[in-house]
Amino acid sequence: MRIRLLCAVLFLAVPMASSFAADCSGLPSATELQRYLNTAPSVETPIGGLFGGTLMWGAIVNRDGEICAFITSTADPKKVWPGSQAIAKAKAYTANAFSNDALPLSTARLYTFTQPGHSLWSLGQSNPFSPFFLAPPDGRGGGKDQIAGGLIFFGGGVPLYSGGRIVGGLGISGDTSCADHEIAKRVRTLAGMDPPGGAEVDDIWYPLDGPSVFMHPYCLSTYRNGIFVGTETAVKSY
C-alpha cells in the first residue's frame, strides 16, 4: 500500500515540476548570446574601457527573473573575470525587475537614485544575489531556470522587449561599467529586442549631458556610441 502511494505521489510530482520550468521562448539562447557578444565590440567603435568590450560575461533572464542563458564571449570562460558572472546575472535581473512596458530603465540610469542622500538609497539590500546559482569558472551549471536575484546599479544591464512589451533582461559584465553598457546596448539591438523608442531611449547619461537624476559617472576611457565623452577623475591624494 505504501509503495503504491509513493509511486502515485512521484507520478503526480513529475508534471507539477515541469509546469514550473522557466519560459525562455523568444529569448536568445546561450549560443546566440555568445555570437552577439562577439559581434558587438565591432559595432560603432571604439567601445572604450579596459578591453574594448571583448572579455564579457552575458546573462539573460525572462520576465519572471529566471535565468535563461549565460555565457562568456570567449571559448574559455577562465579568460573573463570570474566575478563578472554574478554581476552579469544581477544586472539582467535588475534591468528586468525595474522596467515595464511604459518605461525601460537600464541599470546605468539607476546609479544616482541609489546613492546616499537619494530616494532609493539602500535599495540594493532588498534582494541580495544568491551565490548558489553561480557556475564554476568553466561555466557549467549555474542556476539555469532559477531566480538568482541580485541588484546592480551601474552600467551593463538593459531590459529586453518584443512586440513593444518587456520580456526579460540582459546583463553584461567584464569591463568598465560604461563599456559594459555599450556592449549590452549593442547586443540588445543585434537580438532585435530594443524597447519602443529605440536603442537609446534608456541610454547612459553622463555629466556632459547636464544635471539629471539618471546621471552615471565617467569610467576609464569612456565612449558612447563610438564618441569619446570623458574619463574617470583621477585621485590626487587621500
pLDDT over threshold 80, residue 55: yes
In this structure, the chain runs to a length of 238
Residue 11's φ and ψ, nearest 5 degrees, are: -65, -45
State the DSSP string of 114-146. Answer: GSTTSTTTTGGGSS---GGGPPPTT---S-TTS
pLDDT over threshold 80, residue 101: yes
Report the alpha-carbon distance of residue 159 to residue 145 in Å, rounded: 18
Q: Which of 130, 146, 129, 9 is nearest to 64 (CA)?
A: 146
pLDDT over threshold 80, residue 174: yes
Rounded (10°) CA dihedral 79, 156, 83, 220: 70
Q: Cell triple for residue 181?
A: 553598457
What was the pLDDT predicted at 22? 63
Per-domain residue ranges for the chain? 22-230
Name the more confident of 219 and 136: 219
22-230 CATH fold:
Beta-Lactamase (3.30.450)
pLDDT over threshold 50, residue 211: yes
